[in-house]
Amino acid sequence: MNTIENNPVPTNPLGIDGIEFIEYATTEPLALGAVLERMGFEQVGRHRSREVVLYTQGEMNVIVNADVSAWSGFDHEVQATNLSAIALRVRDANEAYRRVTELGAWPIPTRAGAMELNIPGVHGCGDSIIYFVDRYRDFSIYDVDFKPSSQERRKTTALSGMHFFGLVQAVGPERTREWIDFYSSLMGFSVLPEGQFFGILPKGNLLASPCRQFYIQLVEPPEGTEDIQWEEEWLRLGLGTPDVLQAVRQLQERGVIFVDRAPTQISERGALTQLYKGGVSFELVRSQKDKN
Q: Are residues 113 and 168 in the same domain?
A: no
Which of helix, strand or coil describes residue 196?
coil
Q: What is the CATH number of the domain that holds 41?
A: 3.10.180.10
pLDDT at residue 135, rounded to an integer: 86
pLDDT at residue 69, rounded to an integer: 65
How many domains does the chain fold into?
A: 2
What is the mean pLDDT, run by run of 10 residues, along the chain of 292 residues?
48 96 94 94 91 94 85 51 95 96 91 66 95 87 84 65 95 94 97 86 90 95 70 94 96 95 92 88 90 52
- Integer CA distances (angstroms), 205 to 12, 101, 107, 201, 212, in order: 20, 25, 26, 11, 16
Contact 244, 271 (CB under 8 A): yes
Contact 237, 275 (CB under 8 A): no
Q: Are residues 126 and 175 in the same domain?
A: no
Whether 9 is in a domain gets the answer no
Q: Are residues 25 and 140 in the same domain?
A: yes
Whether 5 is in a domain gets the answer no
Whether 248 is in a domain gets the answer yes
Which residue range forms the structural domain that includes residue 123? 19-148
Domain boundary (85, 114, 148) is at 148
pLDDT at residue 4, rounded to an integer: 43
pLDDT at residue 289, rounded to an integer: 79
Whether 278 is in a domain gets the answer yes
Please report how many Cα atoms fall inside a 13 Å half-sphere around the Cα of residue 159, on the Cβ side: 27
Q: Is the bond preceding 263 in cis, omega lying within 30 degrees of 0?
A: yes
Taking Cα atoms as reference points, which of 258, 259, 171 lies closest to residue 216? 171
- Distance from C-alpha of 198 to C-alpha of 56, rounded to nearest angstrom: 24
Q: Are residues 212 and 248 in the same domain?
A: yes
Which of helix, strand or coil describes residue 107?
strand
Q: Are residues 273 and 178 in the same domain?
A: yes
